[in-house]
Amino acid sequence: MSQHHNQPGFTDQSLIRNFCIIAHIDHGKSTVADRILQLSGIVPEREMRDRFLDRMDIEQERGITIKSQAVRVPWTFDGVEYTLGMIDTPGHVDFTYEVSRALAACEGAVLLVDATQGIEAQTLSNLYMAIDHDLTIIPVLNKIDLPSAEPDKHAEEIAGLIGCDPADVLRVSGKTGEGVRELLDRIVVEVPAPTGDAQGDARALIFDSVYDSYRGIVTYIRMVDGELRSREKLHMMGVGTTYDPIEIGVISPDMMPTRALGAGEVGYVITGAKDVSQSKVGDTITSAAHPATEPLPGYRDPQPMVYAGLFPIDNAQFPELREALDKLKLNDAALIYEPETSVALGFGFRCGFLGLLHMEIVSERLRREFGLDLISTAPNVPYEVTAEDGTVHRVTNPSEFPDGKIKRIVEPMVAADIITPKEFIGAVMDLCQDHRGIMGTMEYISTDRVEMHYRIPLAEIVFDFFDQLKSRTKGYASLDYHEDGEQAADLVKVDILIQGDKVDAFSAIVHRDKAYSYGVMMTKKLRELIPRQQFEIPIQAAIGSRIIARENIRALRKDVLAKCYGGDITRKRKLLEKQKAGKKRMKMLGHVEVPQEAFVAALATGDSANDRDTKDKIRAAQKSEG
Amino acid sequence: MGADFEVYVHVPFCLRRCGYCDFNTYTASDLGAGASRANYARMAAREMELVYDWQCAYGIAEPAASTVFFGGGTPTVLSPDDLVFLVERIRTLWGIAPGAEITTEANPDTVDETAIDRLAAGGFTRISFGMQSAVPHVLRTLDRTHTPAHVTRGVRAAQAAGLDASVDLIYGAPGESLDDWRTSVRSALDLGVLHLSAYALTVEPTTAMGRRIAAGTLPKPDDDDEAAKYEIVDAMAQAVGLEWYEISNWAAPGHESRHNLGYWRNVDWAGIGPGAHSHYRLPAGGDDGGGGRAVRAWDTLHPRRWGQQINEGQVPFADHESIDPQADLEETIMLGLRLREGLDLQAVQARTGTDLAPVVHALTGDGLVTCTQGRITPTLRGRLLNDTVIQRVFSAVLH
């Protein structure tokens, strides 16, 4: 046999098929991708690594993919070798922009749905985005080997969504490999070949950029027009920098340097950029010698939507926290941070994140990979606050909230899509209403599942919305949201005072209706968490100078040990030594000693005010408002 | 230092175990290896000899014992003859200083007039009765078998025999009201005792009571309630001329427990019996570098193992700790601050080179201590918040 093999840089566009896989967490994307690599012969079975495409531990554990990658896969159909570019997409809500760039690098998308669970909100949202990008959709049900699979039911559901015949929905099992060959054949037949200008000035879309400790920044690109050669100077059209590329190549399945990348091909370039912010997703790479005149459309800088303070519990770890953030930044263009000083928490960083999950991932990596013990403050969204004198403040931290009278506060809004079994419609409506959501439309996506559309302040989502959604729907509902403008709202800053002193870490910007419950809950929590001391400690919540909730920690009257005879002395001394060591973990707020654990516990989200005392106090506080 | 030497003898037997008690005591009369109630005095005497030889080998030369104290358990489950025999053994080995204080603890229902007379004749000068409460339902909660009448009879007998009598009370038992407590204190003081100890009930998780509290079938003692009861006993004792001299102890002047004061002044003592602790200052100039340092050693806890060690001719130590200067300082501070005689500021300043004036000023300002003639003494509030006071002094001198 002397079959022709396509060489990188010399592959005719008509033989190229670029596609991505859209799937929800745990719907089996990685298993199917692994199966594809194995069937194509580029990864021998014995070398198959489980979940080949997911590289980071945390992602594996959480079943999510933060960073997408791209593999060049050969596939022969009808005696002709085709080159498939398989682009992995991030699976989560916070990375919408990255997803959109990955989609822009493809002509087709495999919609992969778990046959036991059906489609989820984020998948649906990514599917709509793919349709917006005019991608050819190949619907696939996975996990058909499982006894609980309901392929007929979910095929109907998918057919209803994308307007195909239920019989066209492919049925595969990543686990057994069943149906995966047919899937690859379908990709060749149905996904259009790229149609860029192979002779034009080079234009490559950056759809991902990853820091690798050995190679530096690896930038994943999709050649749209022209070609890039390995010794050619590159120019980033958005950022405006020029590089001598160190290496250009394809991944199949390991990095393989090539002399060039041609129109339609997917590959990587190592530029020598120091961190990913110099090689940004969405930017266009062109040749420095023969630059294109127009960059590819769609480049933008994602703005942080959630801010929080991260403080080392042991303030001596501040330099380590800085180093760790610097390292994460290499690989995370969306992460921003600047030093912050808190009276209560000491030295730390104010960090900006794309969303709540992004925040969780970053703080978890700091804890796990860098061994840092951290306190994070409550998440905060960016507000635009206009003071009475007309000055406008961008407030990403309650401490920036201007004193005095406020003319207007504008908060960011999101469009939230929630898919839930119909029996939870009422529960979801209650939840959204509690969170100031405004209902839009609602559609049945199958006989027993609905998609509900809401407009909700982002601030409401970032607190404990997702946990509550899951708990009120027994885990069945899924959520997706994206930015949707802003609105003016009646927001106030609630301060918490311990013994009359404001504790900056506990201040929060909340809707006026929620101020009382925040104040009551926080003061109650702190009363439980702060140990009694020699003096009485009032704990108050206040809006400006008006106290809206109050708790008292009674003075400690007795801490003495009754007996201290011959045999007790050693034990007593050791106990005192232990207490003394414990004091080092106390923060002094004025004269009040507050254990670190109290900050961690008080700032933890997810508690709801369901006990009677809390409800009574909230009601009383609201009444006093009149 | 080392001017005083004391002997403590632990008697690890009780007729029944009380639900709150976590002391090293056993209700069986024969624990094997010679550690039986009948043979106990002989074993303890044998231990004294082994300890004496050990002291000689380490160059620890103790003066005649200034105090002897029998504690338990219930020492009075041994016969008065056994107790007197042990006093005599101490006299033979170390000597007993003229005017020494010789005390035994007693459960009110394990001594009678005859026994008390024999103890008095055998050299005992003091009996400390475990009265605990005068209120029947509180005594029941505490699993005590005696009645208030037993206490009266025992104290009267001791007074008649010319012995100093002291009673112990416990406050804070589940279900004890403030009035119950006043009744108990009143009953104790009405006996005319010249010494009173009052202890907040300490619930150890390993005891029957600890388990019942953890299971929620008994209410947990409340610190505020105990604080109120402490103030009650302090006021009532003072009203009849008993002054506090240690946090949990009140006495008419001259009737303090000298033995217990020794613990708080960090003197040397030999502890005899299972689980008993000993404390020695090692002689200066030893070649082990431990010169002048203190060491605390404790005996094997279980009487059977303890007995085996003695039978093998070993001092039945389970382990020991060498008290380094830092720990010694900590002990000096924590013990001194329990006492009315207070903590000697000059001595602490000399040892640490730290000026204590600022912390003393702050503590005085908070009403926790008073300072007279170079010593600081906790106030009533400072006694109740004694740990706070100790910690604040610690943080001033230890870094």
For residues A98 and A215, state if they share a domain: no
Segment 586-605 of chain A within 8 Å of chain B by CB = none
Given CB atoms, is A567 within the 8 Å cutoff of chain B? yes
Q: Assess if residue A25 is contained within a domain.
A: yes
Cβ atoms of A471 and A477 closer than 8 Å: no
Q: Assess if residue A322 is contained within a domain.
A: yes
Q: Which of A88-102, A475-489, B199-213 is least confident?
A: A88-102
For residues A393 and A482, state if they share a domain: yes
Could you report the per-residue pLDDT of A523-558, keeping only the tens digit for each? Answer: 999 999 999 998 999 999 999 999 999 999 999 999
For residues A18 and A161, state if they share a domain: yes
Q: Assess if residue A599 is contained within a domain.
A: yes
The conformation of residue A54, written as its DSSP 8-state character, comes to: -
For residues A327 and A214, state if they share a domain: no
Q: Which of A188-197, B287-296, B332-341 is least confident?
A: B287-296
Structure tokens at B309: 């060690």
Query: pLDDT class for B121, splitting at 50, 70, 90?
Result: very high
Flag whether pLDDT at A41 surpasses 70.
yes
CATH of region B5-261: 3.20.20.70
The pTM of the full predicted model, rounded to 2 decimals, is 0.71
What pLDDT was estimated at residue B281? Answer: 87
What is the rounded average pLDDT for all residues in chain B? 91
The domain spans of chain B are 5-261, 344-397
Q: Are B387 and A560 inside 8 Å of each other by CB?
A: yes
Length of chain B as a residue count: 399
Given CB atoms, is A577 within the 8 Å cutoff of chain B? yes
Most confident of A620-624, B149-153, B235-239: B235-239
pLDDT, mean of residues B267-274 = 95
For residues A539 and A438, state if they share a domain: no
Query: pLDDT class for B316, splitting at 50, 70, 90?
Result: very high
What pLDDT was estimated at residue A283? Answer: 93
CA angle A80, A83, A86 (to 5 degrees): 140
Alpha-carbon Rg for chain B, nearest whole angstrom, is 21
Output the CA–CA distances (angstroms, integers) from residue B142 to A159, B77, B130, B221, B323, in the order listed. Answer: 76, 19, 12, 13, 36
More confident residue, A92 or A193: A193
Flag whether pLDDT at A358 surpasses 50.
yes
Query: Among A450, A470, A489, which residue terminates a domain?
Result: A489
Other C-beta atoms closer than 10 Å to the C-beta of A462 total 23
Here the CATH number for the domain that contains residue A406 is 3.30.70.240
- Dihedral sign for Cα atoms in the order A591, A593, A599, A601: negative
Output the CA–CA distances (angstroms, integers) from residue A577 to A42, B156, B335, B343, in the order listed. Answer: 63, 44, 14, 19
Cβ atoms of B157 and B149 closer than 8 Å: no
Could you report the per-residue pLDDT of A229-269, keeping only the tens digit for each? Answer: 998 999 999 989 999 888 999 988 888 999 999 999 999 99
Query: pLDDT class for A52, splitting at 50, 70, 90?
Result: very low
- Min Cα distance B224 → chain A (Å) is 6
Flag whether pLDDT at B131 surpasses 70.
yes
E strands, chain B, are: 5-11, 65-72, 96-106, 126-132, 164-171, 195-200, 243-246, 249-251, 268-272, 277-281, 294-299, 317-323, 343-344, 369-372, 375-378
Flag whether pLDDT at A625 surpasses 60.
no
Q: Assess if residue A301 is contained within a domain.
A: no
What pLDDT was estimated at residue A31? Answer: 86
Domain count, chain A: 5
Here the CATH number for the domain that contains residue A537 is 3.30.70.2570
CA angle A429, A430, A436 (to 5 degrees): 90
Cβ atoms of B332 and B380 closer than 8 Å: no
What pLDDT was estimated at residue A626? Answer: 44
Q: Which of A24-33, A219-228, B132-141 is least confident?
A: A24-33
Flag whether pLDDT at B19 surpasses 90.
no
Could you report the per-residue pLDDT of A385-441, keeping only the tens digit for each? Answer: 999 989 999 999 998 999 888 999 999 999 999 999 999 999 999 999 999 999 999
Query: Among A190, A211, A229, which residue terminates a domain?
Result: A190
Could you report the per-residue pLDDT of A307-348, keeping only the tens digit for each? Answer: 999 999 888 899 999 999 998 888 787 889 999 998 888 899
Of the partner residues B8, B330, B387, the one whose CB lies closest to the CB of residue A559: B387
Contacts of A572 in chain B (CB under 8 A): 334
Flag whether pLDDT at A588 surpasses 50.
yes
pLDDT, mean of residues B163-179 = 95
Distance between CA A584 and CA B226 in Å, rounded?
29
Could you report the per-residue pLDDT of A605-619, keeping only the tens digit for each? Answer: 655 556 677 777 777
For residues A233 and A214, state if they share a domain: yes
Segment 496-535 of chain A within 8 Å of chain B by CB = 534
For residues A43 and A149, state if they share a domain: yes
Exposure b/e, A47-69, CB count within 10 A at least 16 = b: eeeebbbbebeebeebebbbbbb
Here the CATH number for the domain that contains residue A280 is 2.40.30.10
For residues A422 and A452, state if they share a domain: yes
Here the CATH number for the domain that contains residue A98 is 3.40.50.300
User: With 0-12 CB in 10 A as exposed, 13-18 as middle and 19+ as buried, what is B85?
Assistant: middle
For residues A125 and A230, state if they share a domain: no
Exposure b/e, B37-49, CB count within 10 A at least 16 = b: beebbbbbbbbbe
Contacts of B248 in chain A (CB under 8 A): 562-563
Which candidate in B248, B261, B379 is best for mutational testing of the A interface (most A CBs within 10 A)? B248
What pLDDT was estimated at residue A66? Answer: 33
What pLDDT was estimated at residue A1? Answer: 44
Percent over 70 (pLDDT), chain A: 93
Query: Among A190, A218, A252, which residue terminates a domain?
Result: A190
Residue set of the binding site of A? 26-31, 142-145
Query: pLDDT class for A67, splitting at 50, 70, 90?
Result: very low
Per residue, the 3-state secondary structure of A521-539, as one string, reads HHHHHHHHHCCCCCCCEEE
Q: Which of A7-21, A33-47, A507-521, B5-19 is least confident?
A: A33-47
Q: Are B269 and A572 inside 8 Å of each other by CB?
A: no
Other C-beta atoms closer than 10 Å to the C-beta of B346 total 11
Find, among B200, B220, B223, the residue nearest to B210 by Cα.
B220
Flag whether pLDDT at B251 surpasses 90.
yes
Cβ atoms of B358 and B345 closer than 8 Å: no
Which candidate in B234, B363, B388 is best for mutational testing of the A interface (most A CBs within 10 A)? B388
- Dihedral sign for Cα atoms in the order B189, B192, B196, B201: negative
Of the partner residues A554, A558, A567, the one whose CB lies closest to the CB of residue B275: A567
Given CB atoms, is A569 within the 8 Å cutoff of chain B? yes
Per residue, the 3-state secondary structure of A283-332, as one string, reads CEEEECCCCCCCCCCCCCCCCCCEEEEEEECCHHHHHHHHHHHHHHHHCC
The residue whose two tokens read 């830092």 is B326
Distance between CA B337 and CA B304 in Å, rounded?
38
- Segment B315-323 long-range contacts (CB within 8 Å, at least 24 positions apart): B315/B47, B315/B50, B315/B51, B315/B54, B316/B47, B316/B50, B316/B274, B320/B295, B320/B296, B321/A570, B321/B295, B321/B296, B321/B297, B322/B290, B322/B293, B322/B294, B322/B295, B323/B293, B323/B294, B323/B295, B323/B296
SS3 B28: coil
Output the CA–CA distances (angstroms, integers) from residue B322 to B53, B293, B294, in the order listed. Answer: 20, 8, 6
Of the partner residues B230, B327, B368, the one whose CB lies closest to the CB of residue A558: B230
Could you report the per-residue pLDDT of B191-221, keeping only the tens digit for each? Answer: 999 999 999 998 888 888 889 988 888 888 8
What pLDDT was estimated at residue A50? Answer: 52
pLDDT, mean of residues A52-72 = 50
Q: What is the ipTM of this complex?
A: 0.88
Q: Are B223 and A563 inside 8 Å of each other by CB?
A: no
Say whether the peptide bond before residue B325 is cis (omega within 30 degrees of 0): no
Here the CATH number for the domain that contains residue A371 is 3.30.70.870
Q: Are A569 and B277 inside 8 Å of each other by CB?
A: yes
Structure tokens at B348: 């602490």
pLDDT, mean of residues A29-42 = 87
What is the rounded average pLDDT for all residues in chain A? 87
The whole domain housing A315 covers: 306-379
How close are the terminal C-alpha atoms of chain A, in Å? 88
Q: Assess if residue A293 is contained within a domain.
A: no
